[in-house]
């Protein structure tokens, strides 16, 4: 193996690790835990899947804010309340959590496994 191949492999591993490691300062919650939390109306529940995915099935109480529109729509969220984020599998909601964290939101929870784990 050449040095260049070794460097490429290391960079790929770093890239994948950054995608899979939970965002620092973002809580992780299972769908089982979420079922108990849904009674708490002080939290903001957002689903970052596409509008079509949301229309085909969504968890009552969640508001649709597609990931590609999050920058424009995040102003509708209160910075003082917890934001609970879900998607289909947990990948987009993790990305959305990073975006919210960078925008100054402090209390963010990502739902592990997403809507797929809920069903």
Residues serving a catalytic function are 87
Residue 79 has, within 13 A of its CA and on its CB side, a CA count of: 8
CA atoms within 13 A on the CB side of 112: 11
Q: Which residues contact 72 (CB under 8 A, 6 or more apart)?
A: none
Contacts of 113 (CB under 8 A, 6+ apart): 30, 31, 89, 90
The angle at the Cα of 57, spanning 34 to 20, to the nearest 5 degrees, equals: 55
């Amino acid at each position: 193996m050449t040095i260049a191949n070794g460097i490429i492999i290391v960079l790929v591993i770093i890239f994948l690790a950054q995608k899979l490691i939970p965002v620092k300062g973002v809580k992780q919650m299972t769908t089982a835990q979420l079922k108990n939390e849904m009674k708490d109306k002080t939290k903001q529940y957002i689903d970052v899947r596409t509008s079509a995915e949301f229309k085909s099935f969504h968890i009552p109480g969640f508001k649709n804010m597609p990931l590609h529109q999050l920058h424009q729509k995040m102003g509708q969220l209160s910075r003082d309340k917890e934001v609970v984020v879900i998607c289909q599998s947990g990948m987009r909601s993790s990305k959305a959590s990073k975006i919210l964290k960078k925008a100054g939101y402090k209390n963010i929870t990502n739902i592990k496994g997403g809507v797929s784990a809920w069903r």
